[in-house]
Each structure stands twice: as structure tokens, then as C-alpha cells.
Structure 1
Amino acid sequence: MRNPTRQALLTLRMPGMAQAYDDQLNNPATHSLGFDDRLGLLVDAELAQRESRRLAKLLKGAKLKAANAFPEDIDFSAKRGIDKRQVIDLLTCQWIQRGQHVVITGPTGTGKTWLGCALGREAARKGYGVLYCRLPRLLEELEVAHADGSLPAVRTRLAKQQLLILDDWGVAPIGARGRQDLLEVIDDRVPGKSVLITSQLPTKTWHDFLGEPTIADAILDRVLHNKHTIELKGDSMRRMTPDAAP
């Protein structure tokens, strides 16, 4: 019965349970357990493997730039200007559930991208769809999409994610079409879906960066009225060793 049972589990697409079944057969310590206990272990193993596969899929789709960014490694030292209580609250991801936004500002090298990716990883852990984009590269992609007819597909891909991370906001000039595209991307997320923005520019200068007053007002009204702000400070983290956690 052993091989048919294992094959049946694989046919039912339960590889975690099949592996745990093999482990139980090869572990005499489990033979004294009751039926309910052994079944419970099998079910737990299957759930754990499915959760692992789900998270791996979400992280692959998120394309986080800082793949080594883990919430457990966040540096809460006072010199960085991080409010520990605020970040711990953000790690609950209730702000995503509420469709709120996060803005992380600070000088270059202070760990904005790293922190944004750490928050993105935690969102994926909790089952939210996440997508990381550098804003200059995203605007280039949208420009190409206008030309090749893929614009609706690109906008749909962006809109379906529950958290969109826009990194490097304001590092490159933005033109008229870029402003309009950015407005459409942001508008597709309001209400109900969240944006996380990282920028070297303080938010008070964003209106000037966007340029055209009417579109700037429309974009900023959708983002800034419902946001959590983290202002990083300190020396560039890039002067530290490559493995040091921001």
C-alpha cells in the first residue's frame, strides 16, 4: 500500500504530504503516534510547502531590487531617523489592507531602497501581490508601450498588484507624457491599492519635480493625503561592508 499511497498523494498534487509520508515511514519515533497526530503532521507539511511555494512565486513576481532585504535585519539605531514603533506597525501591512501609502525619503545611500524592499518582502509574506519598479525605467517602459500597442497590458499588470514600489522618484526629469502616464498609474491604484515611493527629494519639492501644476496637484493629492512618511538620515550605507544590513 505504501507506494500506491505515495503516488496517489503526488497525483493529487500534494508533494509536501507525500514527502512527510515518506519521512514518517522512515522515522520509527512517529510510529507510536495516533492516527490523528500523524495525519496532522502530514497536513501541516503540505500546508508549509504550499506556503513556501506561494511566497517564492510572489517574490519572483515582485522583482525586488534588494533581494537580501529582510525585515528582521532593519537597523533601528537612532542615527538613522527610523521610528521603531512606526516601522513595526507598517510590518503588520494593515496600511496595505487600508489602501494607504508609504513615502521614504533621505539622502542617497541611506537605505531607502533596502527598507522599501524589506517592507515589500513582508507584504509578500502576508500574501499581497507586490511589484518593484524604478520610476525612470517604468516611464521608459510606458513610452515604449505607447509605440508598440502594449500600453493596456502594462497598465493592467501594474494595477493588479496590491503594492507598487516606485523607487528613485525624482532622480531623472519627467516629460509631459511621463507625467500623464504616472497620473494614470497612480489613479489606477486609488482607492484601495497602495504605493510605496522612495525619493532623495523631500515631498515639499515634488510639485516642482512634476512640473505641470494641474497634473502635479492630481498626482500628489492621490498620494500624499493618505501616507506614512519615513525620513532617513545619516551617512551613506554604501560605505559599509556589502553584507551590512541597512
Structure 2
Amino acid sequence: MTEHEQLLTNLKYLKMNEMTNHLDETINFINKNNLSFTEGLIKLTNYEIDHKEASMIKAMVKVGAFPHTKEIKDFDFSYQESINKDQILEFTSHRFIHQNENLVFIGSSGVGKTHLATSIGISAAKKRISTYFIKCHDLVAQLKKAKLENRLEDRLRHFTKYKLLIIDELGYLPIEPEDSKLFFQLIDKRYERRSTILTSNINFSNWDNIFIDPMISNAILDRILHHSHVIQIPGKSYRLKDYFSED
């Protein structure tokens, strides 16, 4: 076995697939550019690192359970002129996550709340910030089921572990008083420890209609809004723009 064959065998044994695939071209590059052993090794190992980083990012995005893979670049800011594009881009720096702050998107159906929340979440996941997306109705249903099965604390810990939790469509369905208490427990556990993004079609003054119990509603609002950025979107629905566009 030649030295080259031995090196290939070693790399395959170590499961360095990208280094194996790029070995010959790297050797040629080293010889052509008269690189040192260290420089050549850095170039070769970078192939493996880049591949593993890409795979890890892909896995983080998959774990996030996002409803789509639309990013900020896919959002039509010209259609929703009320949105401050610079502010949204600032959120993708993830400073609000590092400071345990919340984002709340308020607006009617179809204005882009979920798109923006998801895009910010995907940008966080790509930076290996643990992120999870869930519809409010599904979240409450999981907490309710966990309580019935005497494993509520485990489920609360599960949703608390994410550095960024996106709760979508808060307010589309009312939440029963007992279930509101479960939702409060989660918000309370995340308060000042983790960041949460919420989207809702209901203004804060009407959140009593969501949670039924005014005391619980106020307690939830207090914790969500204490360290938060509120983005009001009074614009038109994306979903209807093609139906009402002028010829």
C-alpha cells in the first residue's frame, strides 16, 4: 500500500469524508502554490469543518419545526411599508436573545407576522441558538395533556430549555382559564431567562378575551411586555393582495 493509499484509508477510517473527497485536489493545490504542510492541512481540514457546520445548521433548523424556510430576504417590505426594515434586520443580530428580551408581532391575519417571526427564528437557528416554533393552540394542548399525564414539569422544562421559543397565533382561539394557568407557568419560567416571540391578531387591551381570567391575562402581559419589542403591523394581507391588485 502506498503512502497515498494509506492516508486515504486512515481518513476513511476516521470518517473524514470531506477530507477524503478533497485530498487529491488539495495535494495538487499545495504543490502548485508551494504551500507549507500546515497551510495545506488547514485547507484540507476546512473542507471537513465547513461540511460539519453546514450539517449542524441544517439540523438546528430542522429541530426548530418551522412552518416554512422563508427568510428575511424573502419578505416584501415594500408591500408592508409600516414595518421598520432596519429594526427587523437588527433582530437578526440576535441581541434581543442574548439580553433575554421578547418580540411581539401584532396585526390582522396575513400581514406577515408569522413570516417575520419564523425568519428571525431561522436566522437564530443558523447561529446555533436553540430555537423552536409552535402554534399557540398546539402548545396549550401539549401542556394540558402533560398535566393530565402527571408530567407537566417535564413538558415545561422542555419548552423552557430553548433560548428562543416562537409562539404563533396567540388569540386565534380562546384559552380556558385552567389552560391559561398552564400558559402562564411557561411564560413565568421563561421570564428574564429566555426570549420568546409571539404573534397575535389581538391588541393587548383585548387579551382578557383570550385568557378569560383578567388576573392571569395581566400576569402574562406583565411578564411578556417587561422586556419586549412590540411590532404593530397595520398593513394589508399578503394573501389577498393578488385578488385586489389593480390591472
Common fold by TM > 0.5: yes
The CA deviation at 1:124 is 0.6
Who is 1:32 aligned against? 32
Give the secondary-structure state (helix, strand or coil) at the position aligned to 2:192. Answer: coil
Q: Does 1:172 align with 2:186?
A: no
Give the secondary-structure state (helix, strand or coil) at the position aligned to 2:73. Answer: helix
Aligned CA-pair RMSD: 2.0
Q: Which stretches in structure 2 are left out of the alignment for 5+ residues?
A: 243-247
* Alpha-carbon separation, structure 2, partners of 1:213 and 1:206: 8
Q: 1:240 to 1:10 in 2, by over 3 A?
A: farther
* Alpha-carbon separation, structure 2, partners of 1:3 and 1:148: 58
CA contact (8 A) 1:20 1:41 kept: no
Who is 1:244 aligned against? none
Q: 1:49 to 1:224 in 2, by over 3 A?
A: same
Q: 1:14 to 1:141 in 2, by over 3 A?
A: same
Count of matched residue pairs:
238
The CA deviation at 1:180 is 0.9
The CA deviation at 1:30 is 4.8
The CA deviation at 1:159 is 1.0
**Range moving further from structure 2, 150-159 or 220-229:** 150-159
* Alpha-carbon separation, structure 1, partners of 2:207 and 2:214: 11
Instruction: Choose which of 45, 48, 51 in structure 2 pairs with 1:46.
Output: 48
Who is 1:237 aligned against? 238
Q: Which stretches in structure 1 are left out of the alignment for 5+ residues?
A: 242-246
CA contact (8 A) 1:66 1:113 kept: no
Question: TM-score by structure 2 length?
Answer: 0.88
CA contact (8 A) 2:177 2:211 kept: no
- Aligned identity (percent) is 26
Q: 1:153 to 1:41 in 2, by over 3 A?
A: same
Amino acid at match of 2:32: S
The CA deviation at 1:87 is 0.9
* Alpha-carbon separation, structure 1, partners of 2:92 and 2:208: 29
* Alpha-carbon separation, structure 1, partners of 2:176 and 2:30: 66
Q: 1:10 to 1:216 in 2, by over 3 A?
A: farther
* Alpha-carbon separation, structure 1, partners of 2:66 and 2:162: 14
Higher Cα Rg, which structure: 2
* Alpha-carbon separation, structure 2, partners of 1:233 and 1:12: 56
Give the secondary-structure state (helix, strand or coil) at the position aligned to 2:22. Answer: helix
* Alpha-carbon separation, structure 2, partners of 1:13 and 1:233: 53
1:143-165 deviation per Cα after TM superposition (whole angstroms, max 9, x unaligned): 22122333233222211110000
CA contact (8 A) 1:80 1:232 kept: no
The CA deviation at 1:17 is 2.7
CA contact (8 A) 2:171 2:200 kept: yes
